[in-house]
Amino acid sequence: MISFTRIYLALICIITFFSFYIYLSKRINESLISKEKKSDKRELVLDLIQNPNEFVLKYVDLPFDFGYGSNSIPLVISALISNGDFLELGIGSFSTPLLHKMSIDYYRKLISIDTNSDWVDKFKLYNDTRDHRVYLVENFENLEDKIGSKNKKWGLVLVDHIEANKRPTHAKYYAEKSEIVIVHDAEKSSEIYYQYEANSLRSSFKQACKFSIYQNKEKTSYISTLILSNYIDLTILESIFEKVKTEFGHVACNLSF
């Protein structure tokens, strides 16, 4: 009886030791992977600072589109300096393929949502890919229940849907739920439609950059995109955007907005 008890206790000790060894090895491995990812991220950001055009031209087709695609450059840069998955509220001919390519290259999941069935149908084949899902919804309310993303922290959220007067509300909602929030059509001439300033959108974020770009050679009009964050120091964008080249030679990041 005594011999059996000793054997039993010895087995328990051995099992406990190996269980702890496996647990410890897993934690050490996770820590090493985490450090490796952080190191890779630092190298990526350093490369981005030194030569942003290389990254921009990888994902943005030439010639640049200075209308519907005018948010492409800030999308690429913001995706690269953030961590986590992408959420696109409002499907677009430029933003959706761009984010799709980046989700593949950087193993980041992408969810694209729209209320227009025609837009969803154009990109529904993305549902057959590894990391991209496209959803048709009646409206953009209670999205977390509709797409099963409750309590999820996003890396980048693009708010560029057709419900103009609700964009500020939806952008504010993700202020603490996403590292970066981007809203399109932020130029003064469009304030009457989107009312970002009237709804004090800027006050919900610690950091902001208004990315502006001329739409023609005469430089008589421009279009702006807001890059907003409570988690990332966006002052880095100023030096990055200064190096980005376009046909009209004007890319600006206004950090005082």
Residue 249's pLDDT band, with cuts at 50, 70 and 90, is low
- The yes-or-no verdict on residue 168 having pLDDT over 60 is yes
Say whether 249 sits in a helix, a strand or coil: coil
Residue 191's pLDDT band, with cuts at 50, 70 and 90, is very high
- What is residue 252's predicted lDDT score, i.e. its pLDDT? 75
- The yes-or-no verdict on residue 30 having pLDDT over 50 is no
Q: What is the C-alpha separation between 96 and 114, in angstroms, rounded?
A: 11
- The yes-or-no verdict on residue 35 having pLDDT over 60 is no
**Exposure string (b/e) for 87-123, b if CB count within 10 Å is 16 or more?**
bbbbbbebbbebbbebbeeeebbbbbbbbeeebbeeb
In this predicted model, which residue has the larger pLDDT, 220 or 203?
A: 203
Query: At residue 45, what is the residue type?
Result: V
Task: Share the mean pLDDT of the chain.
Answer: 87
Q: Encode pLDDT of 44-54 as tens digits.
A: 989 999 999 99
Report CA-CA distances (Å) from 107 to 83, 100, 129.
11, 10, 12
Give the mean pLDDT of 220-228: 92
pTM of the model: 0.83
- What is residue 125's predicted lDDT score, i.e. its pLDDT? 97
Q: Encode pLDDT of 2-18 as tens digits.
A: 566 666 666 676 777 66
- What is residue 169's predicted lDDT score, i.e. its pLDDT? 96
| Non-local CB neighbours of 148 within 8 Å, separated by 6+ positions | none
Say whether 248 sits in a helix, a strand or coil: coil
| Non-local CB neighbours of 9 within 8 Å, separated by 6+ positions | none
